[in-house]
């Protein structure tokens, strides 16, 4: 190939990948370090939208996280209180900690929030059960 051909290919690649930045959404995959729950104790809340969860585009790994009895047992064994709630739910019988956590703005669904009573994270739910466990155990 001639130098001219390489220049054309380079310009084409710059144009192609330069346009991808405007097409691809900005997704913050790093967890936001927060304590989304007032008070003490370990808590996990996963907030989802039922309409989204029932579509064929739903990520099966996310559904498995919310439906897994083994994951719930792991949460129980580690003294982690948890709720998996629809984004549109209104909690009337729960303590205010869950309502306050529901009120935190979320960029997408499903969304995971965890607190150990001191610090925690609030981020999109991604990956597998093992990855979520690792995120939880990693909060110091």
- The answer to whether position 106 is within a domain reads yes
Per-residue pLDDT of 55-92, as tens digits, reads 767 788 888 998 899 999 999 999 999 999 998 887 77
Residues 80, 140 contacting (CB under 8 angstroms): no
- The answer to whether position 85 is within a domain reads yes
Q: What is the CATH number of the domain that holds 73?
A: 3.40.30.10
pTM of the model: 0.71
Confidence of residue 126 (pLDDT cuts 50, 70, 90): confident
- The answer to whether position 24 is within a domain reads no
Give the C-alpha distances (Å, rounded to integers) separating 63 from 1, 84, 110, 132: 51, 11, 9, 13
- The answer to whether position 114 is within a domain reads yes
- Is 80 exceeded by the pLDDT of residue 49? yes
- The answer to whether position 45 is within a domain reads yes
**Residue the block writes with tokens 């956590």:** 101
- The answer to whether position 43 is within a domain reads yes
- The answer to whether position 66 is within a domain reads yes
Count: domains in the chain: 1
Strand partners, 46: 84, 112
Domain limits for position 92: 32-137
Q: Mean pLDDT throughout 88-105?
A: 77
The pLDDT value recorded for residue 77 is 97
Annotate the chain with three-state secondary structure: CCHHHHHHHHHHHHHHHHHHHHHCCCCCCCCEECCCCCCCCEEEEEEECHHHHCCCCCCHHHHHHHHCHHHHHHHHHCCEEEEEEECCCCCCCCCHHHHHHHHCCCCCCCEEEEECCCCEEEEECCCCHHHHHHHHHCCC
In angstroms, the first-to-last Cα distance of the chain is 56
Q: What percent of the chain has pLDDT over 70?
A: 67
Per-residue pLDDT of 1-38, as tens digits, reads 555 454 555 544 444 444 444 444 444 555 555 666 76
- Is 70 exceeded by the pLDDT of residue 116? yes
- The answer to whether position 4 is within a domain reads no
């Amino acid at each position: 190939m001639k130098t001219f051909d390489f220049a054309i290919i380079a310009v084409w690649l710059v144009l192609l990948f330069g346009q991808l930045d405007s097409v691809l959404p900005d997704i913050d995959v790093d967890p936001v370090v927060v304590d989304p729950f007032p008070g003490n104790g370990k808590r996990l809340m996963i907030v989802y939208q039922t309409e989204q969860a029932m579509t064929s585009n739903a990520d099966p790994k996310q559904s498995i996280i919310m439906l897994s009895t083994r994951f719930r047992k792991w949460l129980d064994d580690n003294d982690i209180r948890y709720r998996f709630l629809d984004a549109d739910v209104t909690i009337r019988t729960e303590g205010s900690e869950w309502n306050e956590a529901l009120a935190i703005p979320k960029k997408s669904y499903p969304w995971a929030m965890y607190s150990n009573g001191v610090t925690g994270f609030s981020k999109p739910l991604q990956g597998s059960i093992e990855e979520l466990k690792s995120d939880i155990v990693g909060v110091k």
